[in-house]
Amino acid sequence: MATWETFASRFIIQARLEAATALRVGAGGEEAAQPSSSDLPVLVAPDDRPFIPGASLRGVVRSQMERIVRTLEPVAGHGRGACNPVVESEWCITSGQMTELRGDARRLEREHQVESGDRWLADQVWDRSCRVCRTFGSPWLASRVRIADLPLSNGSDGRIERRDGVSIHREKETVQNKYDFETVPAGTAFDLRITLENLAPAERGLVWLGLRELGDGHILLGGFKGRGLGRASLADLKISGLEEGDRQALKRYILHRTLTDVPVEEADRWLEKLWDELEAN
């Protein structure tokens, strides 16, 4: 396995994420409590221009990948399947189990049964983690998929639209409350940049599958999805990378900061590697 102890490979995926319908990524927490001219404002950067948080995009892509993986690998753990990240009792490794593993690591090192308790613990966490957690991370594993916040692309003016909405009383079937909410209009584009660190081909295939689902409009972003908001497409897709074991590519990267262009057909082969593993298991 190649996690973080070495610099084995790096791939960068860049694209323009274009809103095919209006898109609403709303402000939450303390930002939602700030004075605003709208009941439900969109999230904006310090320059008052809308953006999409990378964590939000990674979350919806991961959720879709979990659904697909569970279909073919219903049992999670040991590099297979997808656990349930919202129910701790269904995690690959619960908090209680992690406490026990840490205690075992200290005991084994103290009794000289292992040379390094930390190394033994890391191996145990990796071995017990499911396919999706190994790629996208867990409370005990750092994610090897990094999605930067998506700023507005050049040419997008950052216009924000305001729409009216109503909530309906479910029993009386009458208007219960009126409010307004903000969206960015269809056609607004954002710059997408994803970095894949030390992923095996099948793990890259998992991310690539998620991007295909996103680009085909099967993964919706933001709120009010039931109203038809949140569909996006991908344009100007570019992949570059450094493959594990390619010393010449590593030399070019270290000396000149350049990565090798990767054709889309190669990314499709990552997807074939993923399918081969899923079908074998």
**Sequence spans of domains, the chain:** 10-92+129-280
Residue indicated by tokens 């323009």? 16
- Judge contact between 66 and 82, C-beta under 8 A: yes
What is the pLDDT at residue 102?
Answer: 97
**Integer Cα distance of 55 and 147 in angstroms:** 7
pLDDT tens for the 281 residues of the chain, in order: 567 788 999 999 999 999 999 999 886 544 444 545 577 888 999 888 999 999 999 999 999 999 999 999 999 999 999 999 999 999 999 999 999 999 999 999 999 999 999 999 999 999 999 999 999 999 999 999 999 999 999 988 888 888 765 555 455 555 556 667 898 999 999 999 999 999 999 999 999 999 999 999 999 999 888 888 899 999 999 999 999 999 999 999 999 999 999 999 999 999 999 999 998 87
Note every long-range contact of 153-161, with CB atoms under 8 Å and residues 24 or more positions apart, other chains counting. Answer: 153/16, 153/189, 153/190, 153/191, 155/189, 156/188, 156/189, 156/190, 158/48, 158/49, 158/50, 158/184, 158/188, 159/184, 159/185, 159/188, 160/42, 160/50, 160/184, 161/22, 161/185
Inter-axis angle of helices 117-128 and 95-110, to 10 degrees? 150
Please name which of 133, 126, 107, 106 lies closest in space to residue 118, comparing C-alpha atoms. Answer: 106
Q: Tell me the pTM.
A: 0.88
Residue indicated by tokens 């993923």? 274
What is the pLDDT at residue 85?
Answer: 92
Query: Residue 182 gets which letter from DSSP?
Result: E
For 10-92+129-280, CATH gives 3.30.70
**Integer Cα distance of 224 and 139 in angstroms:** 29
What is the pLDDT at residue 31?
Answer: 45
**Integer Cα distance of 112 and 109 in angstroms:** 5
As given in the structure block, the two tokens for residue 16 are: 């323009």
